[in-house]
Copies of this chain bind each other. A is one copy, B any other.
Amino acid sequence: MELFWRKGYEGTSLSDLTETLGITRPSLYAAFGNKEVLFRTVLKRYEANVVTYRRKALNAHSAYAVARELLEGAANLFGDESKPAGCLGVQGALACGEDAEPVRQELVANRSAGERALRQRLKRAKTEGDLPADSNPASLARFLSAVVYGMAVLSAGGASHKELLQVTELALRIWSQES
């Protein structure tokens, strides 16, 4: 996971994988199928075990709390120096050659699913009166997703945890007035 996370799908070679796993090539293929299904397996694991802040955020009690948990959770993850910088779901395959196109599509679908879940949570918040009647949950979900992606890029460029938290703080100012 750390290899794909740091170097992306295309940038990670089978030799990289077998060397750091201490596993021979045929063993890797017997265990995981091929490079692409290994990546998909890794992505599931990443979603389940690493991106834990999203589920936590979606379960928060207010729209503001959802946004805060999401952004701060992202800042905490991306700013964690014990882990690779950035986000596997973004830099795993943002742009790539034809061979990796299915993987790119998978990541696009993965991000879209995250945006959809957030949108639905904010829609609920609107019906519950937790967001103003003139608010746009879809737009808001997209904005929050964009800030998360933006922090991922900042992180990949070397931004610190503190710097990411400042971005979070500014993004949350949207709530200081009606939204």
Across the interface, A11 reaches (CB within 8 A) one of B10, B147, B148, B173, namely: B10
Query: Which single residue of chain B is at the shortest CB-CB distance from A12?
Result: B97
Residue-wise, chain A 138-179 has the 8 Å CB interface mask toward B (1 for contact) of 011011011111111110111100010011011101101101
Main secondary structure of the interface of A (DSSP, over half): helix
Q: Measured between C-beta atoms, what is the minimum distance from A9 to chain B in Å?
A: 9
Let me know if B94 and A86 touch, CB within 8 A: yes
Q: Measured between C-beta atoms, what is the minimum distance from A93 to chain B in Å?
A: 9
Chain A residues in the interface with B (C-beta under 8 A): 5-8, 10-13, 16, 86, 90-92, 94-97, 100, 108, 111-112, 136, 139-140, 142-143, 145-154, 156-159, 163, 166-167, 169-171, 173-174, 176-177, 179
Let me know if A8 and B150 touch, CB within 8 A: no
Let me know if A170 and B139 touch, CB within 8 A: yes
Query: A94 and B154 in contact (CB under 8 A), knowing A146-B167, A170-B140, A173-B174?
Result: no
Which residues of the other chain, B, contact A179 by a CB distance below 8 angstroms?
Answer: 170, 173
